[in-house]
Amino acid sequence: MARRMILGAGQCGMKLAHDYYIKFSDKSNELVALSTSSEDSVSIPRMSVVQVATEGSGKKFTTGNSIWRENINKLLREFGDVEDTDIIYFTSTGGGSGSSSVRHVADILLEPSKGNRIFLVMILPFKYETLPFKPNTLRSISVLQDGKYTERISILLFDNDRLSKQYFDVEKIDYDITVNTTNLEKINEHIVDSTSLVLDLINIYHDPSKFSPFTIDEVEHESVIFSNGFIGIDSKVFNGKSVSIKFDYGKISSAKNVIIAKSVKLGESDYILRNNAGNFLEKVKRISRRAKNARIMYGIVRTDKIDDGTYIIIANNLDVNKYITKVKEKVGVNVEGFLAREDRERVLTTKEKNLFDI
């Protein structure tokens, strides 16, 4: 297993990176938190913080971009000697500092001779976070697309708005009135756990000493999660013949590679596993029909760390254009299409940037 650095940029990214590092410290070698605001990093161990600036970006993408560019020497000192390392990189897409940091950090870490790989975890804004969060999201994804970083980085997106419908508390505000309030801690826990499931499905969750009629080896697994482009994950128990699959963005029909894994408890007998193999293969066949252009890898994961019978579907090279279209509609203005020209870095006109104060 390669050396692993857990990296977070901006307030959201640092929080998630720290949570991930604490929970999976046995698989992590180092925590690095890139901060542009002294207030944002107070909850992070000082020895892990790289204080690039102190005043922050004020949620402005352009300001954040300038901070990283003007402090490039600090980034070079931190990452210039990093080699043969997998970097698990957390950031939001809607803020100013984290979202604008990616290309500056990636340009240093991804020099061909260094042998590093980046797995980028980006958090999409809530529905109500319209300005400047959604224009910032357009710009951060635009940079990834137009700078061809999607050809060198694996990117896992989580949609805060979708997760808020799954993780909430019911609060009573009057004797007959209740409201749903988003549980941010549960959302963060979902993001951290799902990221680990994608990255470590084989080397953390699977017990190779137990019998499995179909296996996924580590090389196959890494060929999907580090083959670059946008990645999606869905995990659920299928009831009956239904195989409904839903990622936070993108559809399995656009995937190039798909892993289909089913968790089976450690105490299950070999006899039952063999007898149920046909049912598993039938589910694999049904899922494969939805991913017509994909290479399919499938197997049984023997574990007690995942609910028994859960299917884990991981797909890469997903198409995010439909999500971007929805973001543009939420912004409510005529934003330039970020894929109109391959070399375009900006998706907002100067007038629009001034309008949104970003």
Q: Model confidence over 236-295: pLDDT tens digits?
A: 999 877 788 989 888 999 999 999 999 999 999 999 999 999 999 999 999 999 998 899
Q: Are residues 328 and 288 in the same domain?
A: no
Q: What SS3 state is found at 158? A: strand
Residue 53: which residues within 8 A CB-CB, separation 6 or more?
Answer: 35, 36, 37, 67, 71
Query: In the prediction, which pLDDT does 330 show?
Result: 62
Query: In the prediction, which pLDDT does 241 show?
Result: 75
Return the structure tokens found at 320: 């995010």
CA dihedral 345, 351, 354, 355 (to 10 degrees): -120
Q: By the 8 A CB rule, do 271 and 233 touch?
A: no
Q: Are residues 66 and 95 in the same domain?
A: yes
Q: Are residues 155 and 265 in the same domain?
A: no
Q: Are residues 134 and 62 in the same domain?
A: yes
Q: Are residues 285 and 344 in the same domain?
A: no
Q: By the 8 A CB rule, do 60 and 357 touch?
A: yes
Q: Does a structural domain hold residue 167?
A: no
CA–CA separation, 252 and 330 (whole Å): 24
Q: Does a structural domain hold residue 173?
A: no
Q: Does a structural domain hold residue 311?
A: yes
Q: Does a structural domain hold residue 166?
A: no
Query: In the prediction, which pLDDT does 337 show?
Result: 40
Q: Are residues 49 and 143 in the same domain?
A: yes
Q: Are residues 82 and 215 in the same domain?
A: no
Q: Are residues 291 and 339 in the same domain?
A: no
Low-confidence ranges of the chain (pLDDT < 70): 1, 130-131, 328-358
CATH of the domain at 215: 3.30.1330
Q: Does a structural domain hold residue 179?
A: no
Q: Tell me the CA end-to-end span of the chain in Å, nearest whole number.
A: 41
Q: Are residues 90 and 132 in the same domain?
A: yes
Q: Does a structural domain hold residue 264?
A: yes
Query: In the prediction, which pLDDT does 339 show?
Result: 38
Q: Are residues 74 and 95 in the same domain?
A: yes
Dihedral sign computed on CA atoms, order 200, 245, 231, 69: negative
Query: In the prediction, which pLDDT does 350 show?
Result: 56
Query: In the prediction, which pLDDT does 133 show?
Result: 81
Count of domains in the chain?
2
Q: What SS3 state is found at 292? A: coil
Kindly give the residue spans of alpha helices, DSSP state H, lying in 133-256. 133-146, 160-164, 184-200, 218-225
Residue ranges making up the domain that contains 76: 3-161+322-356
Q: By the 8 A CB rule, do 140 and 153 touch?
A: no
